[in-house]
Structure 1
């Protein structure tokens, strides 16, 4: 029963004579007093405060919220066996300098309540930069190494670029995913670069063997000298120019292969160049030296496409629609030759002078 109903009941009791006027006034006063107490109680009930927290450090979108670290380790050229560097979700770069130290300037962001455990350790000439994979959201760094020949150089990253310039190593390996790899002015007996969904760019490199592999992104090779080159991608172009690679294998899908051999050194006493190119749904374009004849042999096939060559002295062994097996007249008695094995679908194969 609410207050209004209680008052009406008191008045009805007064009208019926159940209570007198004095008693009625006392009851009405009591009802009014209880209402005031309830109103006062409603006003004084405590409320949960609205909390506003101002962070001690600036927010990430102002400063990235990362912390820094640095390493300086004196090394001796004859004692370096290997250098292994591991990053995560942030750019990794390596350069050479004239000093005798390995210098690292890095940055990282720790997982909440996680220990990054960043270490740089040496064991019998093997140097390793490592971290707690579960303790950091990202870790990146710039590294400077002495201008010495390393036995093994290994850089691994994820979801961020790896950039290497000027390094010399017997074996050089660069790995990442969903990010670019850039290699320049490097020397190696065995050079390997692997990523996914991002391009690989290699320039001014000398190697005995180089292997580049990615997916859904371009491979670009320029000014490279190597005995063997293996270049593999999918759904993207492979472009090779101004390079001297004795044995070259190029494989992609749904994209063109563009191979410029115009700058090949043909003055060697005896060299047999080999090119194997395979793609689908796109052209294979090969440009030969124009100023000096390069005798060649080719085995080329395509589906729903054509094969073109500028050579006028071609000896044809077999020819059909979309297939050509032939060689130039001078191929059999030349010291420097080129063998080409080319395959595509739904597109043309073009072999011509620059």
Structure 2
């Protein structure tokens, strides 16, 4: 029983996907499981990606046959099938969480690291695996990292798996824990550093109140949340995990995910490039960082694009919207926008321009493109 619960906990933490969990449970039932089997190189998330992409291709064939009306009806039933899968998994995880830590021989160990940060040119690089990453900015002149590891019926020395190198202008922390160890790393950094680069796998990443020239985030099979950050350059990359950016500013931002949604809310950029597949993008009350024309690109396939414009007239917006086998839906725009639309068989295109776009000093140009789904544009 303990082995089954451990497999389910590994699924919860993102160390394995649902297919791998089923395979492990099948092996366990046959009495062939050993501790080393968890490292089988055949285990990967590629099968999940291939399955989702195959479903996307089938959706395209249905859409080509039945047209935009089919897409509209499908959207009324389910908002992107990938989201439905995530919601189902979340319910299972909540159920498991109720008692998983009561397993006999389940242990939790911690380790703290603290280093001084002497100048604003500091570059901080973190590379780990299967650990959730939480990073907060602070007014101190220290870098702190607290590791919390969850172990099952074993003991380890954390220092044996950590490489921590610090110099005058850099801090590098890298871990190499066994695959059957999971947990989290809680990091605090000073404000106004030069670079923060985070890389992990099978885990979520959460960032709050960061002040840096560069914030670079990479994970797999985990979500990324960025809140209340002031940056010069922001890059995020994940798959099978949602990316959320909230009340954040950056001159340049590139957000990439697959099979999951992208939400950017009450944030400002000079340039934003957001892309996903088989899921939605929502730009909610985004504005320009300064004067001039900001450029926002939103691209997805088999998923909706939602553009929610603020109710005031600053900045002025121009939107180039394009979809195939879907509709472009406009709400509360007619009085203050000039709308040019063109529907040609399966293609729908529209250019929506604020009446005061040319003379306004603060402008946002949004290019929105999707396939097999709708583009919904509205004003508060």
Give the aligned CA root-mean-square deviation in angstroms. Answer: 3.5
Mapped to 1, the partners of 2:340 and 2:105 lie a distance apart of 58
Give the one of 203, 228, 236 matched to 2:246: 203
Residue 259 of structure 1 corresponds to: 307
Q: For residues 201-252 of structure 1, what are the alpha-carbon distances to aligned partners after superposition, in whole Å with 9 as ceiling and x for unaligned?
A: 1101011011111011110110101111111001111111121042110011
**Are residue 168 (structure 1) and residue 208 (structure 2) matched?**
no
Q: For residues 307-353 of structure 1, what are the alpha-carbon distances to aligned partners after superposition, in whole Å with 9 as ceiling and x for unaligned?
A: xxxxxxxxxxxxxxx4567878x579644666565555555556565
Indicate how the Cα distance of structure 1 residues 300 and 145 shifts in structure 2: closer, same or farther if over 3 A, else same: farther
* Shift of residue 96, structure 1, vs aligned partner: 1.8
SS at match of 2:226: strand
**Are residue 106 (structure 1) and residue 113 (structure 2) matched?**
no
Mapped to 2, the partners of 1:341 and 1:96 lie a distance apart of 33
Structure with the greater alpha carbon radius of gyration? 1
Residue 221 of structure 2 corresponds to: 178
Contact residue 247 and residue 274 of structure 1 kept, 8 A: no
Give the one of 162, 166, 186 matched to 1:142: 186
Mapped to 2, the partners of 1:333 and 1:70 lie a distance apart of 55
Give the 5 Å matches for 1:305-320.
none
Mapped to 1, the partners of 2:366 and 2:330 lie a distance apart of 10
Q: Which runs of 5 or more residues in structure 1 are unaligned? A: 1-58, 306-321
Residue 216 of structure 1 corresponds to: 259
* Shift of residue 98, structure 1, vs aligned partner: 2.7
Q: Which runs of 5 or more residues in structure 2 are unaligned? A: 1-100, 289-293
Contact residue 114 and residue 142 of structure 2 kept, 8 A: yes
Larger CA deviation: 179-188 vs 69-78: 69-78
Give the one of 77, 91, 94 matched to 2:119: 77
What is the TM-score with the length of structure 2 in the denominator? 0.61
* Shift of residue 178, structure 1, vs aligned partner: 0.4
Contact residue 111 and residue 147 of structure 2 kept, 8 A: yes
Greater relative CO, 1 or 2 (CA 8 Å, sep 6+): 2
Q: For residues 141-167 of structure 1, what are the alpha-carbon distances to aligned partners after superposition, in whole Å with 9 as ceiling and x for unaligned?
A: 101112x21111101110011000001
Mapped to 2, the partners of 1:302 and 1:349 lie a distance apart of 16
**Are residue 123 (structure 1) and residue 123 (structure 2) matched?**
no
Indicate how the Cα distance of structure 1 residues 108 and 237 shifts in structure 2: closer, same or farther if over 3 A, else same: same
* Shift of residue 170, structure 1, vs aligned partner: 0.6
Indicate how the Cα distance of structure 1 residues 326 and 276 shifts in structure 2: closer, same or farther if over 3 A, else same: closer
Contact residue 298 and residue 369 of structure 2 kept, 8 A: no
What is the TM-score with the length of structure 1 in the denominator? 0.65
